[in-house]
Chain A
Amino acid sequence: MAATAQTVAQVRDLGKYKHGWETEIEMETAPKGLNEDIVRFISARKDEPDWMLDWRLKAYRHWLTMTEPTWAMVDYPAIDFEDIYYYAAPKNAEGPKSLDEVDPELLRTYEKLGIPLKEQEVLAGVQGAPRVAVDAVFDSVSVATTFKKELESHGVIFCSISEALQNHPDLVRKYLGTVVPYTDNFYATLNSAVFSDGSFVYIPPGVHCPMELSTYFRINAKDTGQFERTLIIADEGSYVSYLEGCTAPMRDENQLHAAVVELVTLKDAEIKYSTVQNWYPGDETGKGGIYNFVTKRGACRGDDSKIRWTQVETGSAITWKYPSCILQGDNSVGEFYSVAIANNAQQADTGTKMIHLGRNTRSRIISKGISAGRARNTYRGLVRMGPKALNGRNFTQCDSLLIGDRCGAHTVPYIESRNRSATVEHEATTSRIGEDQLFYCRQRGIGEEDAVALIVNGFCKEVLQELPMEFAVEAQKLVGISLEGSVG
């Protein structure tokens, strides 16, 4: 109750989207539009090695030959790629800095978001929470990374990708683009050309990362696209849990977010990647909001390795993302746990791909889609069993919950099996939030909005319990907030 009552109070205080405010800070931007000069500008601004610029230019030239994908079940007016700033950074924020040097206005911004950039603090509102190292990305650049020294003592590298290009160029070069090549798809290719920052993580062999790592993305500037690139490598026998959070101010214009995340696990390694995505969803009529067109993919390269994606997608006007696993190593495991909530005019087309290549590879997909208002929510997933994936196993469960009678839920599963020994299971349900459940709650004294949040949280429980504790609390609140006004 405490969390939900607090949520209700927050909503009353701050309106429906509580992160909708803007930070006033002096920005440096590249001119609007995209051409080779902009790509060169971004690369030069970051003082990148030549191979990086070449890679970006190859991506840009390839992008020019591509067209936007139209197969997703989402509608939006054509994006004018010439009307976007591809680079926006707070002035003087370039380059690695100590926390003391970070602009106090930025520190206040993250404080307001409940993200601690001082190492003695923990995530807001959670007592006894474990420490979390944070990389804060503000528009196009990383402004601060905490707990770096302590992590370094364990051999863990956690920094912005710009910094990694300076200090660990060989590692970046070895892995960048090996999971999501620059030719992959329209948005990933665009990202490869213009990505400005993001996080880089390397966990050395045998190291169990001593704390949760997280990146907090904030889009602030107007008409800006955010193109971050995250690369996480878990070397043999290592483990890391990584969290990602996102918010943006409320604006009437749509803003583009086209990120790429690449994960690599070597033998016996494990990565848990959790996302709570709360980009501005637009207003009730569908005006404004973030276009969240994201490519996330992990490769289980080594035997007995494991990647788990957990996502709670509540924000964005449009979500188009399919965090996937390529199960190359024998006995490797891929998991995908997803809650996608779409309210008002939001559209979500999300799911996963599990590509089984190695022997005895296993995958598990649990997807919970909640639609309210006039929203459209599509689960789209692919399970592929390759010819060498002996005894591959997949289990998929897709549940949809509808609130009201104007929303839609769709499930589009693709299954391709080229191996007789493989087992693929798919279960799907669609249900409506029950009038009897709502009445039962209300008769016990639980208000209608609170009752919806409670019932939906119950529906999502299997997924929410996969989140690290401090994110689970946040996610439960978000579920309530994002369904505000969906009943009655």
Chain B
Amino acid sequence: MLEVVNLHAAVDGRGILNGLDLAVGPGEVHAVMGPNGSGKSTLSYVLSGRDGYEVTEGSVRFRGADLLALEPEERAAAGLFLAFQYPVEIPGVTNMTFLKHAVNGLRVQRGEEELDAMQFLKLVRQKAKALSMSDDMLKRAVNVGFSGGEKKRNEILQMAVLEPDFAVLDETDSGLDIDALKIVADGVNALRGPGRSMLVITHYQRLLDYIVPDRVHVLAGGRIAQSGGKELALRLESEGYAAFADKAAA
């Protein structure tokens, strides 16, 4: 589904990704782990097309098409979703309004009919209920005054409503206590399915106890230093990143 080949990317002229290769098949969940500064967030922004993240070499194909040629909203319409590490506040715009613009923005791009108010309300209520989110939260301005846990849960709600084919979860566990972590992980697991792939970017193994990956990759020095099964995450936890960082530098 996603194929990254020899990806080099720079921010402000400084190289962050240095030849990253990654292939994620349909329905697979891959974890990318790495120390601070290894390029984890850069990878998520390059995939989603944020300004200022310049690809200097390599390719990213999504379902066979050139992902890098698309604008951010076109990537979203193609089925790519990014759960932000730091969800953004939009004062004065309710969650409901924001979601409606997103749902219909995607539908219009895909040449589908927009949902009317009733259809949309039904959809959101149903998804919110599954994540035990209150109606009150839907009426509040996007992420404004939300706790860390609420913000992350809000990201998962958006994912549930937008039903992407490929979701990148950028440090979704950061700032969560164990209860919030479970709720978020349950939400993510409920969305797992044969047609939906995920890239779970995380610092700690802890999240992977709840979202069990098919593959684990260690990102160090801007490239994948090692890949393996879920047991690799456990080894990392006990041995630390240092060994891999050396390997990447070599």
Contact = CB atoms under 8 A, between A and B. Distances in A.
Given A443-B72, A445-B77, A457 B93 contact: yes
B162 A444 contact: yes
Given A1-B114, A443-B82, A450 B93 contact: no
Interface string B48-88: 11110000000000000000000111011100011010011
Interface string A440-454: 111111111010001
A1 B100 contact: yes
Interface string A415-450: 000000000000000000011110111111111101
B90 A447 contact: no
B105 interface: yes
A446 B141 contact: no
B54 to A, nearest CB: 15
B71 A442 contact: yes
Q: Would you call the interface of chain A mostly helix, strand, loop, or mixed?
A: helix
A91 B79 CA distance: 60
| B72, B93, B116 interface centre (most CB from chain A within 10 Å) | B72
A38 interface: no
B114 A2 contact: yes
A361 to B, nearest CB: 29
Contacts of B98: 441, 444, 454
B108 interface: yes
A73 to B, nearest CB: 27
Given A2-B104, A457-B93, A440 B114 contact: no
B92 A457 contact: yes
B91 interface: yes
Interface size class of B (residues with CB under 8 A): 35 or more
A461 B97 CA distance: 12
B103 interface: yes
Contact of A460 (B51, B87, B92): B92
Interface residues of A, number: 27
Contacts of A457: 92-93
B158 A444 contact: yes
A391 to B, nearest CB: 32
A72 interface: no
Given A439-B72, A458-B91, A458-B92, A5 B108 contact: yes
B82 A437 contact: no
B163 to A, nearest CB: 11
Given A1-B100, A2-B104, A439-B51, A445 B109 contact: yes
B101 interface: yes
Contact of A454 (B76, B93, B114): B93
A462 interface: yes
A450 B101 contact: yes
Given A5-B104, A444-B102, A450-B101, A459 B91 contact: yes
A446 B90 contact: no
A51 B187 CA distance: 77
A87 B102 CA distance: 50
B221 to A, nearest CB: 26
Contacts of A448: 71, 73
A454 B104 CA distance: 13
B103 A1 contact: yes
Contacts of B218: none
B123 to A, nearest CB: 13
A11 to B, nearest CB: 15
Interface of B: 48-51, 71-73, 75-77, 81-82, 84, 87-93, 97-98, 100-106, 108-109, 114, 116, 141, 158, 162
